[in-house]
């Protein structure tokens, strides 16, 4: 019971962020390159799931957008090609 209460408190006080959605997606990608379009598609699916879960906390108000996703990707230390274009790709290795 104590561990359940602690888990629920931690979950409520730790919001899901765009940065965390992007990091999870990049860490689970098996290929060396991921298109920004695919990243947005995957993170948008997770975003919509988090928004409908009453137990999940997030301050995100809109689905992931390319410009902001690219900034987060670079902030995580990954290299982009064709930044700002529809053909933008992330190099994972």
Residue 91 pLDDT greater than 80, yes or no: yes
Give the mean pLDDT of 13-36: 95
Between 50 and 93, residue with greater pLDDT: 50
Domain-by-domain residue ranges, the chain? 2-91
Sheet with strand 89-91: strands edge to edge: 33-35, 89-91, 79-81
Give the mean pLDDT of 23-38: 97
Residues 33-85 pLDDT 10s: 999 999 999 999 999 999 998 888 898 999 999 999 999 999 999 999 999 99
Measure CA of the first residue to CA of the last residue in the chain; give whole Å: 43
Interatomic CA distance for residues 58 and 79, integer angstroms: 27
16 Rama sector, left if φ>0, alpha if ψ -120 to 50, beta otherwise: beta
- CATH code for the structural domain at 2-91: 1.10.10
Q: What is the pLDDT of residue 65?
A: 97
Give the mean pLDDT of 1-15: 78
pTM for the structure as a whole: 0.85
């Amino acid at each position: 019971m104590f561990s359940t209460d602690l888990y629920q408190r931690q979950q409520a006080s730790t919001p899901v962020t765009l940065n965390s959605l992007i990091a999870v997606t990049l860490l689970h990608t098996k290929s060396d390159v991921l298109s920004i379009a695919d990243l947005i598609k995957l993170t948008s699916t997770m975003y919509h799931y988090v928004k409908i879960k009453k137990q999940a906390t997030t301050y995100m108000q809109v689905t992931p957008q390319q410009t902001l996703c690219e900034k987060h990707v670079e902030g995580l230390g990954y290299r982009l090609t064709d930044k700002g274009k529809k053909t933008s790709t992330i190099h994972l290795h």
